[in-house]
Amino acid sequence: DGLEVLQYRNRHGLNAPLIVLTAFGTVETAVGAMKEGAFDYLNKPVDNDRLLDVVARALASRPDKRDTDYAMIGTSPVMEKIRRQITLYAAGTSAVLITGSSGTGKELAARAIHAASPKKNGPFIKVNCAAIPGELLESELFGHKRGSFTGASTDFSGAFSRADTGILFLDEVGDLPLALQAKLLNAVEEKTINPLGSETSIPIDVKVLSATNHDLPGMILQNTFREDLYYRLNTIHIHIPRLCNRREDIELLVITFLARFSKSANKTIPAISEDVIRLLHAWAWPGNIRELSNVIERAVLTCGEGPITPDHLPRAIRDMKTTLKTGVKEAMNLNSREKKLIIAALNACKWNQTRAAEKLGITRNTLRYRMKKFGIKNNVK
């Protein structure tokens, strides 16, 4: 059964993350699975989207991944800012809250913080607060003593203990049950934990990172998230933007994914047509980087030995081809107007870029990027 497979993996020192999917879920088997190191535990019937998401996260968590896989890819001003934030915030011990829509790369940012921190040689322990049933989550976080509840046949070290001297990443922290939030707050503030069934406090040396795509301030107003916990977790904040808000990074991401998936498929990196690049730039990317990664992986696997063409893209993206020419013309008109607006602002500010950026409501780095994009040269003599 599933527990025997987990035990076999552990005995033979294998690294594959394992997900337990069962039609006969009980608290006892769930605790046993987590104790044996299951990546996640799902009950049948399972939602297909949730299952795919868990599998994708399990693949991304493999311990044989190189640090370079966790780099935040992109040359846009916002990604340059995020990389600077990661370097700066990794050095300290303060809690970091990472926000952004699903698929934007919040876990990659967390792993990049770990790789850049003094705790990089310590463990990186991830807990998905949405994936573990509420009745098991307290034990998963803080551990338990033998006999503390039905099925607790042995002592169990929780995530805080396993992350000692390293980093604990609380993914989907907005889904943390309200009843557990006070205990989490105490652990983060006091740097001690009390396993279930134990009256002894255990000191911990853990840097806490958390991530969510929920509106936590809105949840505070609805009394579903504690305000004091929010401010404790949000000592430092990093927001990962949607892919549609940093389209200048799409081409570099495409190149990266082409190389990665071609290598895993043991094939030469395929050429990619200009029509495909235009379609990828025009698509809204509701699934963000995760969606782009899936699209490129599918294209690499289906293009054979030839180039990637629009026929290798999902139908929804392919169907944009008929309206793309009109969209390109409109984009050209928008670009022309944006260029004129930037020049007007620079002229009004005597080509002082800092003041012009403030007038336009953008950062100086963004202004400089736009000037380079439109070929606007500094007119100061």
pLDDT of residue 69: 46
> What crossing angle do the helices spanning 178-190 and 134-142 adopt, rounded to 10°?
10
- The predicted pLDDT at position 66 comes to 41
pLDDT tens digits for range 36-94: 778 777 888 888 877 887 787 777 665 444 444 445 788 788 988 998 899 899 989 99
CA–CA distances in Å: residue 101 to residues 5, 8, 75, 79, 243: 35, 37, 20, 15, 10
Question: Alpha-carbon distance 147 to 43, whole Å?
Answer: 25
Crossing angle of the two packed helices 77-90 and 364-374, in degrees rounded to 10: 140
State how far the Cα of 235 lies from the Cα of 304, in Å rounded to an integer: 49
Using CA atoms, how far residue 288 sits from 113, 123, 182, 247, 300, in Å, is: 21, 28, 33, 11, 19
15-to-127, 162, 246, 289, 348 alpha-carbon distances in Å: 18, 17, 35, 26, 61
258: amino acid identity, one letter = L
Is the bond preceding 45 in cis, omega lying within 30 degrees of 0?
A: yes
Helix (H, G, I), strand (E, B) or coil at 30: helix
Question: Do residues 18 and 9 lie in contact, with contact meaning Cβ atoms separated by under 8 Å?
Answer: yes
pLDDT (0 to 100) of residue 245: 93
Q: How high is the pLDDT of residue 68?
A: 41
pLDDT reported for residue 301: 94
Residue 158 DSSP class: -
pLDDT given for residue 160 in this prediction:
94
What's the CA gap between 60 and 71, in Å, rounded? 13
Question: DSSP letter string over 280-329?
Answer: HHHS--TTHHHHHHHHHHHHHHHSTTS-B-GGGS-HHHHTTHHHHHHHHH
pLDDT at residue 309, as a whole number: 93
Q: What is the pLDDT of residue 324?
A: 53
Longest CA–CA span in the chain (Å) reads 79
Closest CA to 292 of 268, 272, 321: 272
- Beta strand 202-203 with 192-193 is antiparallel
pLDDT of residue 236: 95
What sign results for the dihedral spanned by CA atoms 96, 101, 107, 112?
negative
What does the pLDDT look like over 223-256, one tens digit per residue? 999 999 999 999 999 999 999 999 988 988 888 8
CA dihedral 229, 232, 237, 239 (to 10 degrees): -10
Intervals of the chain under pLDDT 70: 12-15, 25-28, 31, 35, 60-71, 321-337, 361, 379-381
* Helix, strand or coil, per DSSP, at residue 1: coil
Nearest partner of 297 among 310, 311, 312, judged by Cα: 312
